[in-house]
Amino acid sequence: MTSAKAFDLKLFSILWVGGMLGILSLLGVNLPLPEGTDPAISKWLILLQPTILLSVSILIGIVLAPKVSLAAPLASAIIRRKPIAPILQSQGIAGLLGGTIGGLATYGIVALWKPFLPETFVTKGEELSNTMPVLTRLLYGGITEELLLRWGFMTLLVWVGWRIFQRRKGKPRKRYFAIAILLSSLLFGLGHLPVAFALSPEVTTSLIAYVIGLNSLFGAIAGYLYWKFGLEAAIFAHMTAHGVLVILQWLF
């Protein structure tokens, strides 16, 4: 038997290591930096800031997720030494389907919206995309971002709604999950604006709507998968979406 504290510590360790792999992968990426920024200092900030956010997000999820019927089923089964094949199958299928839909939708939206975006943003965005290591997309996008946005932030939002309006009675109502998915998706979209602004000196309404809308769409898919299937389904979906985009960019 695994005690509650030992389980929490092992779960934290697994999730933290996974998230840190994504953060460390950023060191090989030439991200756009504001003028006058020391690249050496920026490298440390790239490590420090997300590491703090990651640690806090994982703790939030570990403490609050069980209270609101959210979980990381695959990691939990590994810790408890239970069969993982059934869990891996259900989460893998859901993640593969959701990620494929998300990747195809993203590719289509990018193609349709491109004529309405600043030329500088399109050019520099394509350069960044072409030089972004596939490993970084899979690890940071697939694991780290899901731990931050779904495991941490979305879980917190569901708990707040359940705690305040249901007064911790019964399971959280569906509306709280829906609101949490919406808000965490919007934050996911807003979180991509700084990079977009660094890529383009020309900030337009179309650019802002594009960045927020595009990323929020996939955030909603990942949020739904986290709710219905567990954290790993959202991670698999995020990885799959990046894989689909890489393949489509290579083909076309």
The chain-wide mean pLDDT, for the chain, equals 92
The predicted structure's pLDDT at residue 40: 64
DSSP string, the chain: ---HHHHHHHHHHHHHHHHHHHHHHGGG------TT--HHHHHHHHHHHHHHHHHHHHHHHHHHGGGGT---HHHHHHHTT---HHHHHHHHHHHHHHHHHHHHHHHHHHHHHGGGS-HHHHHHHHHHHHHS-HHHIIIIIIIIHHIIIIIIIIHHHHHHHHHHHSTT-SSPPHHHHHHHHHHHHHHHHHTTHHHHHHH-S---HHHHHHHHHHHHHHHHHHHHHHHHH-HHHHHHHHHHHHHHHHHHHHH-
- Using 50, 70 and 90 to split pLDDT, how confident is the model at 130? confident
The predicted model scores a pTM of: 0.93
Residue range 8-54, pLDDT digits in tens: 999 999 999 999 999 999 887 776 565 666 666 667 777 888 999 99
pLDDT top residue among 188 and 39: 188
Residue-wise pLDDT tens digits, 131-187: 889 999 999 999 999 999 999 999 999 999 999 999 999 999 999 999 999 999 999
Q: Which residue has the higher pLDDT, 250 or 221?
A: 221
Give the pLDDT confidence score for residue 24 in this predicted structure.
Answer: 92
Instruction: Check pLDDT > 80 for residue 236.
Output: yes
pLDDT at position 37: 62
pLDDT in the model for residue 129: 86
Give residue 198's pLDDT band: very low, low, confident or very high (50, 70, 90): confident
Q: What is the pLDDT of residues 75-120, one digit of tens each?
A: 999 999 999 999 999 999 999 999 999 999 999 999 999 999 999 9
Q: Look at residue 203 and tell me whether its pLDDT is greater than 60.
A: yes
Give the pLDDT score at 51: 95
